[in-house]
A and B are shown apart, each in its own frame.
Chain A
C-alpha cells in the first residue's frame, strides 16, 4: 500500500527566514497531496493542497511543489512568523481509492 515519508521531523528557523518540509510517496498512482497544520492541542487543518496535474501552487507565503517523476512534494513557507510554529503533516491519496495516508509530521519552531 501507499507509504508517505516526511522529513525533517523537527525544524527550527529564524523568524523571517524560509522553511522547507519534504515528503516522498510510494504509490505512483497517488494524485492528491494535501498539507495540514496542527497547532498545539488543536485539530489538523488544511493549509494547501496540490493535484498531480499541477507542478506548483502558491497561497500568499506558502507554496507546494510536486515532482511526479521523483514521487516527492514539498511545502515552502517564506518570511516565517511566530504563528507558523506548529506541526505540519503531508498526506497522499488517489481518487480511485478511499485511504488517505499521512506522513509522520514535522514540528516547526520559529525563533524570534
Chain B
C-alpha cells in the first residue's frame, strides 16, 4: 500500500500561472482534505471532501479549487498563483466522513510562487 501520495514534491511558479497539485490514496478513505503550512506556522484547512462528488471550504479557500470525482483522487487547483500562496501543501485522508478520526498525511508539495 502506498498510503497517501502527492505530486509533485517541489514546484516553482510565476505569478499568474495555474497548476494542479495531485493527491491520491489507496486506503479507501472517504474523507480527504488539503492543508497549507507556512514557515513556522500551523496547518490551515483549505478544502475538504467527505466523499466522491462532495466538497466544502475550509479556513482559507480563496484562490483554490477542488473536485472529487473518485474516492482515490482529490486534486487541488491554483487558478492564478500569487506569492502569498508560497507554502507547503499537505493532503490528508481519514476513514469515516467526520472529524472524529486520525488524519493520514501525504509527504507534501513545496510550492514557491515568484
A103 to B43, CA, bound (A): 8
In whole Å, how far is B33's beta carbon from the nearest beta carbon of chain A?
8
* Closest residue of B by beta carbon distance from A105: B42
A43 touches B105 (CB 8 A): yes
A99 and B106 in contact, given A44-B90, A93-B100 (Cβ under 8 angstroms): no
CB neighbours of A6 from chain B (8 A): 42
In whole Å, how far is B45's beta carbon from the nearest beta carbon of chain A?
6
Q: How many residues of B contact A (CB 8 A)?
A: 26
Which residues of chain B from 63 to 101 have a CB within 8 Å of any chain A CB? Answer: 90, 97-101
A43 and B43 in contact, given A93-B99, A98-B99, A100-B103 (Cβ under 8 angstroms): no
A31 to B98, CA, bound (A): 11
Is B41 part of the contact surface with A, judged by Cβ < 8 Å?
yes
A105 touches B98 (CB 8 A): no
Q: What are 20 A-B pairs at a CB distance below 8 A? A: A34-B102, A36-B103, A42-B107, A43-B106, A44-B90, A44-B103, A49-B102, A89-B42, A89-B43, A93-B99, A94-B100, A95-B98, A97-B99, A98-B50, A99-B45, A99-B58, A100-B33, A100-B45, A101-B59, A104-B42
* Closest residue of A by beta carbon distance from B97: A98
B105 touches A94 (CB 8 A): no
CB neighbours of B100 from chain A (8 A): 31-32, 51, 93-95
B99 touches A103 (CB 8 A): no
In whole Å, how far is A71's beta carbon from the nearest beta carbon of chain B?
16
Is A46 part of the contact surface with B, judged by Cβ < 8 Å?
yes
Option from A31, A43, A102 in Cβ contact (under 8 Å) with B42: A102
Option from B41, B50, B56 in Cβ contact (under 8 Å) with A104: B41
Is A69 part of the contact surface with B, judged by Cβ < 8 Å?
no
B99 touches A99 (CB 8 A): yes
CB neighbours of B31 from chain A (8 A): 98
Which residues of chain B from 16 to 41 have a CB within 8 Å of any chain A CB? Answer: 31, 33, 35, 41
A101 touches B45 (CB 8 A): yes
Option from B41, B56, B98 in Cβ contact (under 8 Å) with A96: B98
